[in-house]
Amino acid sequence: MSTVSPRQLPPPAVSAVDGERLTAPPESGRPGRRRTRRPGGFTPYALLTPALIVLALITGWPLLQLFIMSFQKFGRAQVFGAPPEFVGLGNYADVLTDPDFWQVLWRSLAFAGVCVVTTMVLGVLVALLMKRLGGVLRTLVSVGLLLAWAMPPLSATIVWGWIFDTQYGVLNNVLTNWFGLDFAGHPWLIDPFSFFAVATIIIVWGAVPFVAFTVYAGLTQVPDDVLEAAQLDGAGAFQRFRLVIVPYIRSILIIVTILQVIWDLRVFTQIYALQSIGGLAEQTNTLGVYIYRVSLGSGDFGTGGAISVIVVLLLVALSIFYVRRSVKEETL
Cα–Cα dist 118/148, whole Å = 17
Beta bridge partners of 204: none
Residue 311's closest CA among 67, 60, 90? 67
DSSP symbols for 74-106: --HHHHTTPPPEE-TTHHHHHHHT-HHHHHHHH
Give the chain's domain count: 1
Tell me which H or E stretch contains 63: helix 61-69
Beta bridge partners of 14: 21
Q: At what angle do helices 99-132 and 246-265 cross, to 10 degrees?
A: 140
Instruction: Please check whether residue 272 lies inside any domain of the structure.
Output: yes
Residue 299, classified by CB atoms within 10 Å of its CB into exposed (0-12), middle (13-18) or buried (19+), is middle
Q: What share of the chain is helix, strand, coil (3-state, %, to 5)?
A: 70, 0, 30
Q: Judge whether 72 and 302 are in contact, CB under 8 Å.
A: yes
Instruction: Please check whether residue 27 lies inside any domain of the structure.
Output: no
CA 232-235-241 angle, to 5 degrees, is 120
Pairing of strands 72-73, 85-86: antiparallel
pTM reported for the whole predicted model: 0.78
The alpha carbon dihedral of 253, 256, 262, 267 has a sign of negative
Instruction: Please check whether residue 21 lies inside any domain of the structure.
Output: no
pLDDT value for 63: 86
Q: For residue 197, give its domain range.
A: 104-331
* pLDDT tens sequence for the chain (332 residues): 445 454 454 555 444 444 444 444 555 445 555 555 556 677 888 888 888 898 888 888 888 888 898 898 888 887 787 888 888 888 899 999 999 999 999 999 999 999 999 999 999 999 999 988 888 888 898 898 999 888 899 989 999 988 998 888 889 888 888 888 888 888 888 888 999 999 999 999 999 999 999 999 988 888 888 888 888 877 778 888 888 888 888 888 988 998 899 899 989 999 999 998 877 888 899 999 999 988 887 788 888 899 999 998 888 888 787 777 666 665 66
CA distances from 127 to 223, 272, 294 (A): 16, 31, 40
Cα–Cα dist 86/226, whole Å = 64
Side-chain-side CA neighbours of residue 276 (13 Å): 11
Cα–Cα dist 306/94, whole Å = 9
Instruction: Please check whether residue 82 lies inside any domain of the structure.
Output: no
User: In this structure, what CATH number is given to the domain that contains residue 301?
Assistant: 1.10.3720.10
Beta bridge partners of 85: 73
Instruction: Please check whether residue 90 lies inside any domain of the structure.
Output: no
pLDDT value for 31: 52
pLDDT value for 241: 84
Instruction: Please check whether residue 75 lies inside any domain of the structure.
Output: no
Instruction: Please check whether residue 49 lies inside any domain of the structure.
Output: no
Instruction: Please check whether residue 189 lies inside any domain of the structure.
Output: yes
Cα–Cα dist 31/7, whole Å = 25
Cα–Cα dist 84/86, whole Å = 7
